[in-house]
Amino acid sequence: MSNFKEVNIRDVHENGVSLIADRYMLITAGDEKGYNMMTGSWGFIGEMWHKDVIIPVVRPQRHTFKFLEEQDCFSICFFSGETSKNVHKICGSKSGRDINKTEATGLIPVFDKGTVYFEQADIVLICKKIYVSDINADNFIDKSLDSNYNNDYHRCYMGEILHTFVKE
């Protein structure tokens, strides 16, 4: 943890859309007994109910889904450079059911604040689940969007951002 300093999320001056869509996020849930992580490029960051929140979306068949369901907290990590490319190449295409992603990526886990994150991250958000909602086909106003899903919908995990760490 000595590589990080804690800041207020509102003092991170990177564009939230760019962080998620361009740099991608590593969504991780679990603890010392077991955890999994996956690349995410769809989600939201902002304010809801007077709380700073992030909302990653995860399909139920993803291995990480089980850990998100079982845990109260999860982390979101953002990486840069070659680390980002290597992490997301593996965590965006391989399942934790089949390989040990920590070994495959060389990431060093940090177990802290009720979840796990990684030493190599540039930005870490520690989040507590406060609301979940499933995407529902009946709620599409633009029905053309539904054709992208093939009845394979995501669950939205709204997490209150409790801690924000940035690399020193």
| pLDDT above 70: residue 136 | yes
Domain positions in the chain: 4-167
Q: Which residues of 14-44 are buried (b: 16+ CB within 10 A; e: fewer)?
A: eeeeebbeebbbbbbbbeeeebbbbbbeebe
Task: Specify the CATH number for 4-167; select among 2.30.110.10, 3.50.50.60, 3.30.1360.200, 1.20.1090.10.
Answer: 2.30.110.10
How large is the average pLDDT for residues 155-160? 98
What is the DSSP-derived secondary structure letter of residue 11? G
For 34-80, write each residue's pLDDT tens digit.
Answer: 999 999 999 999 999 999 999 999 999 999 999 999 999 999 999 99
How large is the average pLDDT for residues 131-159? 88
How large is the average pLDDT for residues 117-140? 95
| pLDDT above 80: residue 161 | yes
Longest distance between any two alpha carbons in the chain, whole Å:
49
Q: What is the pLDDT of residue 2?
A: 61
The mean pLDDT of the chain is 94
| pLDDT above 60: residue 1 | no
pTM for the whole structure: 0.94
- Percent of the chain whose predicted confidence (pLDDT) is above 70: 99
Q: What is the pLDDT of residue 21?
A: 93
Q: What is the pLDDT of residue 78?
A: 97
Mind giving me the DSSP string for 88-154?
A: HHHHTT--TTTS-HHHHHT--EEEETTEEEETT-SEEEEEEEEEEEE--GGG-SSGGGGGGTTT-PP
Q: What is the pLDDT of residue 150?
A: 74
